[in-house]
Amino acid sequence: MHYRTVFISDIHLGTPGCQADALLEFLKRDTCDQLYLVGDIIDGWALRRRWYWPQSHNDVIQKLLRKARKGCQVIFVPGNHDEFARQFVNHHFGGVEVLEEAVHVTADGRKLWIIHGDYFDAVIRCAKWLAYLGDHAYELALKLNRYLNNCRNRLGLPYWSLSAYLKMRVKKALNYVSDFERAVAHEAQRRGYQGVVCGHIHHAEIRDIDGVIYCNDGDWVESLSALVEHEDGRFELIFWPRTQPLVSQEEDSLPIPVNLPPPLPIAQPVMRESSSSRLDHPVHG
């Protein structure tokens, strides 16, 4: 499949949660004229704590550089987890252009603002240490999630995302997702754009907010999603099927928390009917 534009973010290379194999399959199958890397591509925060860099993560970088070499215009807008790259904005790395923020003109002439989105994260803005704490909690949730799904797998039950469930619950309570989306969309409108593409909150979505098209390309940790623009300017979310084993060799050696919480009352399986589906029923707070 060939697209006019592909937007991906929140790959989190350098963490065990990163679904690099699935992303590689997507990058191999689909081509595009323009590729936007919308932040949190490499997780510098996690790498500083613990070095984790398997071959597949290297392959992702190689694949991205190869795309740039082969004539695909690759633009990298750093996020908070790869903020180290922000000191290199307006520079090129092997054909990859690093920009603080970008403007994308769609096939039908709309101007979209491309940002990672962390500037809108009040938590990160106000207290950075809180963000680090949140990060640890998230990683623990992912670890628990893998353990839980390994058990579910053995029982023949479908995949269920504990961390997505917890995040949805927490964020629903705080109205985090909708507040974030609204803030981003309104700022895009204030700046005179017809829409915005961002990442950061790991919540893929395309929706209209007060006349502004809000797009979030999701992530490659849990939802395995990309935002694509077709030749005619149509936007679509692509969800890739999960292929990586839930618990890999490296992760087996990681300590599994002994005090597991009691089973959660509501267990709704994450529905994945097809590898490429439109988000007809976006879930948000």
Q: What does the binding site for Mn ion look like in residue numbers (CB under 5 A)?
A: 40, 79-80, 118, 200
Least CB distance to Mn ion at residue 17 (A): 14
User: Between 118 and 181, whose beta carbon lies closer to Mn ion?
Assistant: 118
User: Between 78 and 195, whose beta carbon lies closer to Mn ion?
Assistant: 78
Least CB distance to Mn ion at residue 37 (A): 12
User: Between 118 and 229, whose beta carbon lies closer to Mn ion?
Assistant: 118
User: Between 104 and 203, whose beta carbon lies closer to Mn ion?
Assistant: 203
Least CB distance to Mn ion at residue 246 (A): 24
Report d(CA 181, CA 215) in Å as an integer: 9
User: Between 198 and 209, whose beta carbon lies closer to Mn ion?
Assistant: 198
Least CB distance to Mn ion at residue 199 (A): 7
Least CB distance to Mn ion at residue 96 (A): 19
